[in-house]
Amino acid sequence: MFNLYTLDNGLRVVTEYIEHVNSISVGVMVQNGSRNESKDVNGISHFIEHMFFKGTDKRSAKEIVQEIENIGGQINAYTSKETTCYYIKALNTHVDLCLDVISDMILNSKFDEEEIEKEKGVVIEEINMSQDNPEDVLDEIHSEAIFGKDSLAYPILGAPDRIKSFNRKKIKDYIRTHYTPYNSVLSICGKFDEKELRKLIEEYFGKWSKDDIYNPTYESIKLKHDSKYMEKQIEQVHINLGLNGLPYADDKSYSLVLLNNIFGGGASSILFQKVREELGLCYSVYSYMQPYLGVGTLNIYTGLSNKYCDKAISVINEHLHDFAKKGISKELLEINKEKIKASYILGLESTSSRMFANAKCFLLQNKIKTQEDVIKRINKIDSDDINYVLEKCFKPGIISSAFVGQGIEAENLNKIINDSKVAYKSCTDEKFLL
């Protein structure tokens, strides 16, 4: 059972009561991430995430985590391109403490200058660690290839030079303008007394200042047709191939989920069976979606030996065009409806996963989608929906690429992609031509 309401200061609250559990998940999700940043403060959202754990007037950094861990709970946070979330999961008997700690962090953090300087080193080491991970580097340079100079291309962690420039004033100013009740949601899921919970929420979050109003807006963005590569002395070449996707909450999103599942979403998918199982070209190959507000991408990833790159890209292209042209049968449509329904339901088995889902939906769409709503939408997927997504996402083919590894001949690899696209156009009906 859901309850949606807004406090006097503009903070939206969503609660979901679940009778059969004895846990509680509490999260504050803010519509702010690297996409909201200007170039000169890139990385500040993630840095602030760290600093919220570094002590308040009431608690030291150690006490923040210790109070939750001492009751067997978990406390953590994450920063993404469009949102930042701080969350706690514990037994439902400790809901008061959970709200106390999480509100204390967000509303009363000290941002001690000494702690800021210390945390700069921590975050720079996190950046260095990320740069040692070829898949992280691949994701970063592919964002540049497909989003160009838009802030969606900015790395979430930022760069060391930017991190070194942060100070208490810059952090406090950013929080004042970007962390407001108006662009935040408090999401709670689990077993609780609704009347008591409302009182606690008002007690801990009712004093959040409403002086500044921040309603994030983003410029429209057109996906770029570009390629990036980075030389790294590693054993494999890591490849990301970008296609048109769909924006977050698009009406045809579930149809894309279904088609992606068939094409590259699992061990029975076309990509896995053709590239790995039949030809043995790689260990890992899959496709995945990246939906954002107003824009989205569909991506194909693989990591493999340099000597197999040409063959792998040719095979991926061949089956991509074949899939786009032939589509799927009615039988496969019905089978995969059941698969994505099962995946969706199983993904909401914990209070924390439901808390995250409720928070994001309420934050970015200002409404809640129930399980019944989602299942109903999946059941309604028909051939028109499938054809729309094939036309928009799959038929244009690969539009961007990124490569990380050593001895990469990026021009030759992109030539394979482009030659394949030309060949595909020449043997396709005019209505399918770009």
3-state secondary structure of 153: helix
49 noted as active-site residue? yes
Question: 2-205 maps to which CATH number?
Answer: 3.30.830.10
Q: Single out the residue of 107, 148, 189, 127 nearest to residue 362, CA to CA.
A: 189
Q: Do the first three CATH levels of 2-205 and 227-432 match, i.e. the same topology? A: yes
Take residue 276 and report the two structure tokens written for it: 């790995």
Residue 427: what pLDDT?
55
The CA–CA distances, whole Å, from 264 to 9, 149, 297, 345 equal: 45, 29, 14, 21
**Residue 63: how many CB atoms within 10 A of its CB?**
15
Alpha carbon 260 to chain centroid, angstroms: 17
Active-site hit among 49, 67, 115, 144:
49
Measured CA to CA, the distance from residue 100 to residue 88 in angstroms comes to 11
3-state secondary structure of 404: strand
Q: Give the CA dihedral 378, 380, 383, 384, nearest 10 degrees.
A: -110
Measured CA to CA, the distance from residue 148 to residue 219 in angstroms comes to 13
Residue 58 is classified by DSSP as S
State whether the Cα torsion 89-95-101-105 is positive or negative: positive
340 in Cβ contact with 261 (< 8 Å)? yes
Residue 434: what pLDDT?
21
State whether the Cα torsion 279-282-288-290 is positive or negative: negative
Measured CA to CA, the distance from residue 397 to residue 420 in angstroms comes to 9
Domain assignments of the chain as residue spans, ordered by start: 2-205, 227-432
Take residue 289 and report the two structure tokens written for it: 């979606």
Q: b vs e for 382-401, b when ≥16 Cβ sit within 10 Å of the residue's Cβ?
A: eeebbeebbebbbbbbbbbb
Statement: 227-432 belongs to CATH 3.30.830.10: yes
131 in Cβ contact with 95 (< 8 Å)? no
Residue 349: what pLDDT?
86
3-state secondary structure of 288: strand
* Residue 399 CB contacts under 8 Å (≥ 6 apart), including other chains: 146, 223, 224, 225, 242, 243, 244
Q: Which residue has the tokens 């030539």?
A: 415
Take residue 301 and report the two structure tokens written for it: 């990833």
Segments in 9-51 forming alpha helices (H): 44-51
**Residue 433: how many CB atoms within 10 A of its CB?**
10
∠ CA 236-238-244, rounded to 5°: 160
Q: Which residue has the tokens 């995969």?
A: 336
**Residue 149: how many CB atoms within 10 A of its CB?**
11
3-state secondary structure of 79: strand
Residue 212: what pLDDT?
77
Measured CA to CA, the distance from residue 119 to residue 54 in angstroms comes to 9
The CA–CA distances, whole Å, from 281 to 89, 229, 313, 335, 408 equal: 42, 21, 10, 28, 17
**Residue 112: how many CB atoms within 10 A of its CB?**
15
Give average pLDDT by consecutive 10-residue segment, the chain, 434 residues. Answer: 95 96 97 97 98 97 98 98 98 97 97 97 98 97 97 98 97 95 97 96 93 87 96 96 98 97 96 97 98 98 96 96 96 96 90 96 95 95 97 96 94 88 57 28
